């Protein structure tokens, strides 16, 4: 009988990574978890995605801190799998590996002009205003009068709302300092959000729409004519609670007087981007109007009408979805943009399970669902792993020790940020926050983060 603990590497410290680690450490098994993270800071999109003006949502990090304090847990920040350690090496060093790397890039629109300067994926803008160190120098030109946000999900609404917050609203949050200065000082007067389908199909959720009714520095605008439902949508809405509530909240906005606040946030429906125009940078966007039709399966589709319109703008934010990135050596489903898997067990190109390899979170399911969705998802994956151990499909006991992994990283010159290093970063950010009456003031550059981690 082997008495060595079962050693698991979890790759990526967002919600899925923490929930996977937590469920493993709560199991009836002598287990050690090394949680790898490419950034010096943990929590994934809870730190670097969730809008800074939604601080309550970010408090889920308290649950992650409890997991990080459990015996058997190690945080290994500033270690990128695929760069500092390969996936093949990881498979040799651990009894099992769980990939929870999230969706690190954006989907493309596939229209001319998409790559003009001034056309930015929402993924990048979100990372910039949240202080992601890879995006500290993102060139966000907010000097023009109008920005257009393409998309009708919660990320699109976050991005549109963040751009019209007042300096006072921003200073109450942990928005990156550079973003506060840029947004507060911007010449921006109007943000227009474009939804391909109608108000009954928009993916955003009602609390986000209600927030638009309460903006201090911007009038929210919805054209009442765009809320008149086509027959197919009208038939589909009854019983669809999100759609019913969204329509109510949008109708409230449509009825609100425009009071002349410094900025406007307009939501438009049934329009698709066709081309982004500009000589060396974004100057306008061409959109086409759509009508809605139910297809054979009853799904309501946008059908272009041929009627086009040009909206002058200097910034286009493309918010049409996140997408996973392949890690060398880990089977990837290009179509879905996820790691190829069956219920969290990674499968090769022939659909055969790769022993000891698992995934959870957005890289398993694709980029949808709220933070809590990843708990069920990660728990499901780990239950599969534990069943594999219990039923003898994973022997265990072959893993390298924690010391050996640390020595390997040291040999390679990787400056690992441990939980102690992260605690030091956290303390600096919180102290700065206290000085300024803010939840925290983030360090947004690699050198600052690593210096703080050294204490
Ligand atoms: C803009 C935005 C706003 C959101 N707002 C909300 C909200 O208000 N409420 C809510 O409930 N949900 C919200 N969500 C959804 C929520 O953030 C996700 O459901 C959740 O973060 C997905 O968890 P994850 O662990 O799969 O991925 P992530 O949170 O993305 O974590 C993945 C981690 O893996 C790391 N990583 C990637 N590659 C490697 C590698 N090769 N080696 C090591 N580490 C790696 C990344 O740096 C990252 O830290 C929002 C999402 C976005 C994008």
- 308-325 pLDDT, tens digit per residue, is 999 999 999 999 999 999
DSSP state letters, 129-187: HTT-GGGTT------SSEEEEE--SHHHHHHHHHHH--HHHHHTTT--HHHHHHHHT--
Given pLDDT bands bounded at 50, 70 and 90, which one contains residue 446? very high
Given pLDDT bands bounded at 50, 70 and 90, which one contains residue 441? very high
Alpha carbon nearest to ligand 1 atom 4, residue: 50
Given pLDDT bands bounded at 50, 70 and 90, which one contains residue 396? confident
Task: Give the residue, out of 10, 44, 149, with the most ligand 1 atoms within 8 A of its beta carbon, to mutate for a pocket test.
Answer: 44
Nearest ligand 1 atom to the CA of 327 is 41
> Average pLDDT for residues 110-116, to the nearest whole number?
97
6-104+324-417: CATH architecture = 3-Layer(aba) Sandwich (3.40)
Q: How far is the CA of 84 from the centre of ligand 1 (A)?
A: 21
Give domain limits for the chain: 6-104+324-417, 106-320
Q: How far is the CA of 104 from the centre of ligand 1 (A)?
A: 8
Given pLDDT bands bounded at 50, 70 and 90, which one contains residue 425? very high
**Ligand 1 contact, 55 CB (< 6 A):** no
Instruction: Say how far apart CA 388 and CA 217 lie, in whole Å.
Output: 55
> Average pLDDT for residues 416-437, to the nearest whole number?
98
Structure confidence by residue, pLDDT tens digits, 267-290: 999 999 999 999 999 999 999 999
Closest among 358, 406, 364, 365 to 383, alpha carbons compared: 358
Alpha carbon nearest to ligand 1 atom 7, residue: 50
Task: Give the residue, out of 12, 59, 162, 372, with the most ligand 1 atoms within 8 A of its beta carbon, to mutate for a pocket test.
Answer: 12
Mean pLDDT of the chain: 96
**Ligand 1 contact, 200 CB (< 6 A):** no
**Ligand 1 contact, 53 CB (< 6 A):** no
> Average pLDDT for residues 385-402, to the nearest whole number?
94
Question: Would the pLDDT of 2 be above 70?
Answer: no
Q: How far is the CA of 124 from the centre of ligand 1 (A)?
A: 13
Predicted pLDDT of residue 298: 83
Structure confidence by residue, pLDDT tens digits, 187-206: 999 999 999 999 999 999 99
Structure confidence by residue, pLDDT tens digits, 123-153: 999 999 999 999 999 989 899 999 999 999 9
Residue 286: helix, strand or coil by DSSP?
strand
The whole-angstrom distance between residue 76's C-alpha and the CA centroid of its chain comes to 21
**Ligand 1 contact, 370 CB (< 6 A):** yes
For the chain, give the percent of residues with pLDDT over 90: 95
Domain 106-320 has CATH 3.40.920.10: no
The contacts of residue 10 (CB under 8 Å, 6+ apart) are 17, 20, 21, 24, 33, 34, 35, 36, 97, 98, 100
Question: Would the pLDDT of 392 be above 50?
Answer: yes
Predicted pLDDT of residue 297: 87
Question: Would the pLDDT of 1 be above 60?
Answer: no
Q: What is the helix (H) or strand (E) element at residue 332, kind and residue range?
A: strand 332-333
């Amino acid at each position: 009988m082997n008495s060595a603990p079962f050693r698991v590497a979890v790759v990526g410290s967002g919600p899925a990574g923490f929930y996977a680690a937590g469920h493993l450490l709560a199991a009836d098994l002598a287990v050690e978890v090394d949680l790898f993270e490419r950034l010096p800071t943990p929590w994934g999109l809870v730190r670097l995605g969730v809008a800074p003006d939604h601080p309550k949502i970010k408090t889920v990090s308290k649950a992650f801190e409890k997991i990080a304090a459990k015996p058997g847990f190690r945080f290994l920040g500033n270690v990128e799998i695929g760069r500092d350690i390969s996936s093949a090496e990881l498979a040799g060093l651990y009894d099992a590996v769980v990939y929870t790397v999230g969706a690190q890039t954006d989907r493309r629109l596939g229209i001319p002009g998409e790559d003009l300067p001034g056309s930015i994926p929402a993924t990048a803008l979100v990372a910039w205003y949240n202080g992601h160190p890879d995006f500290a120098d993102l060139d966000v030109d907010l000097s023009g009068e109008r920005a257009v946000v393409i998309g009708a999900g919660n990320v699109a609404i976050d991005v549109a709302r963040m751009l019209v917050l007042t300096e006072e609203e921003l200073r109450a949050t942990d928005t990156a300092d550079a973003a506060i200065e840029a947004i507060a000082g911007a010449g921006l007067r109007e943000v227009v959000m474009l939804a391909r389908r109608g108000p009954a199909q928009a993916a955003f959720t009602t609390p986000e729409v209600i927030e638009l009714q309460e903006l201090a520095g911007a009038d929210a605008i919805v054209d009442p004519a765009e809320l008149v439902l086509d027959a197919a949508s009208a038939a589909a809405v009854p019983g669809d609670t999100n759609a019913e509530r969204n329509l109510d909240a949008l109708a409230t906005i449509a009825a609100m007087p425009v009071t002349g606040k410094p900025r406007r946030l307009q939501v438009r429906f049934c329009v698709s981007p066709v081309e982004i125009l500009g000589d060396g940078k974004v100057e306008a966007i061409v959109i086409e109007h759509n009508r809605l039709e139910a297809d054979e399966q009853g799904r309501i589709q946008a059908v272009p009408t041929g009627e086009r319109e040009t909206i002058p703008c200097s910034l286009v934010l493309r918010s049409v979805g996140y997408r996973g990135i392949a890690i060398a050596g880990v089977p990837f489903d290009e179509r879905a943009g996820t790691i190829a898997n069956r219920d969290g067990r990674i499968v090769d190109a022939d659909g055969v399970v790769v022993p000891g390899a698992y995934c959870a979170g957005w890289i398993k399911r694709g980029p949808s669902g709220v933070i809590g969705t990843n708990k069920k998802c990660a728990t499901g994956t780990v239950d599969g792993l534990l069943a594999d151990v219990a039923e003898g499909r994973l022997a265990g006991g072959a893993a390298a020790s924690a010391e050996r992994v640390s020595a390997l990283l040291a040999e390679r010159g990787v400056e690992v940020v441990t939980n102690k290093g992260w605690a030091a970063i956290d303390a600096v950010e919180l102290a700065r926050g206290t000085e300024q009456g803010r939840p925290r003031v983030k360090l947004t550059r690699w050198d600052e983060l690593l210096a703080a981690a050294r204490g």
